[in-house]
Amino acid sequence: MTDTLLPAGENAGDDEFEVRCGIPDVIRDDLVQIGGIAGLRARLPPAERIGEISATHHALSDPVRVAILHLLSVQPLCVCVIRECMGISGSKLSYHLNILRENGLIVSEQQGNWMIYRITERGGMFAEAG
């Protein structure tokens, strides 16, 4: 990354890469069209958005959580019913419910002794899609 045929500038490094790299023509031609490496980068969602997207997918990356989401897409449920339905320990269930809630896929509301969980609109979209 020291010698380059191109004038120094904001994207000098990228242009230099494209010049030096002997990648297949089909790819390079299109790449040049869209502005090279810099153009490619510019088409990425901002890092913050990418973080949000991966976080949501992470929330649904465990079969227990996918199952919970589907149960709640049927109707709102208290913890003890979810627990009975899935046959897992209370603390384990609580752990997974937290992750779904933190990611805005479900919400909870206390009702006397019980905690009622229900799916959000956002959560519903993922339950339908899956």
Partner DNA sequence: CATCTATTTCAAATTATTATGAAATGCATA
Partner DNA sequence: TATGCATTTCATAATAATTTGAAATAGATG
Question: Contact residues for DNA (CB under 7 A)?
Answer: 21-22, 58, 61-62, 64, 78-80, 83, 88-99, 108, 110, 112-115
- CA-wise closest residue to 122 among 86, 67, 69, 83: 69
**Which residue type does 7 have?**
P
Q: What would the two tokens of residue 74 be?
A: 């049927």
- CA-wise closest residue to 90 among 73, 124, 98: 98
Out of 4, 11, 81, 120, point to the residue binding its own copies (CB under 8 A).
81
Q: What would the two tokens of residue 91 be?
A: 């603390």
Q: How far is CA 53 from CA 37, 48, 117, 128, in A?
A: 23, 9, 23, 18
Beta-bridge mates of residue 116: 78, 109
Q: Kindly state the smallest distance separating residue 21's Cβ from DNA, in Å.
A: 5
Nearer to its own copies, 5 or 42 (CB): 42
| Contact status: 67 vs its own copies (CB under 8 A) | yes
Residues that bind its own copies (CB under 8 A): 14, 17, 21, 23-24, 26-27, 30-31, 34, 37, 40-41, 43-45, 47, 50-51, 53-54, 57-63, 65-67, 70-71, 74-78, 80-81, 84-85, 111-112, 114, 116, 129-130
